Amino acid sequence: MNAPSPTLHNFLFMLPASTTGAEQEIIVNLARRLTSLGYVYIASAHEGTMVDREDIRFMPLHEDMLPSFGALTGVFVVRDAGIAAAAQDHYPAAHVLMIDPARVEEDLPEYEPEQVIAAWPASKTLWSRPIRETAKVLTAA
């Protein structure tokens, strides 16, 4: 009898132009940890063309035209509530999270991707509201 194949996930990281080089490296280190669970893409405003490096596909980020994928498990947006809200609309089945590279660097040694994914709620409504509320607060300031 054949053992069932593990579920592969697709993860997208979105790095706006405000992301520094040091912050990009932190995000790449986090992304590498997810490659054992599936496919990882990094869309960055700092990339000129699509290129594969190690097990990660890098591509340009165009905020007016988000990348198209069949299905994404998780979308991680670096500190940009507007992009996070657009991602929530564009990828309705994905868990969309705004992340701060400084916090990621602090938590990275204890980060276990499998546990984080297992803790994600099945209901998408838990994720869309906080992102939208954060977007309103950040854009009103």
pLDDT in the model for residue 136: 38
CATH at residue 100: 3.40.50
pLDDT in the model for residue 138: 35
DSSP structure string for 52-64: EETTEEEEE--TT
120: domain range?
Answer: 9-140
Confirm whether 98 is domain-assigned: yes
Which two three-digit tokens encode residue 79?
């500190």
Confirm whether 1 is domain-assigned: no
Confirm whether 4 is domain-assigned: no
Residue type for 45, please? A
Confirm whether 2 is domain-assigned: no
Taking 50 as the pLDDT cut, the residues of the chain under it are 1-5, 123-141
**pTM, two decimal places:** 0.77
What's the structural domain count of the chain? 1
SS (H, E, C) 63-129: CCCCCCCCCCCEEEEECCHHHHHHHHHHCCCCEEEEECHHHHHHHHHHCCHHHHHHHCCCCCHHHHH
pLDDT in the model for residue 128: 40
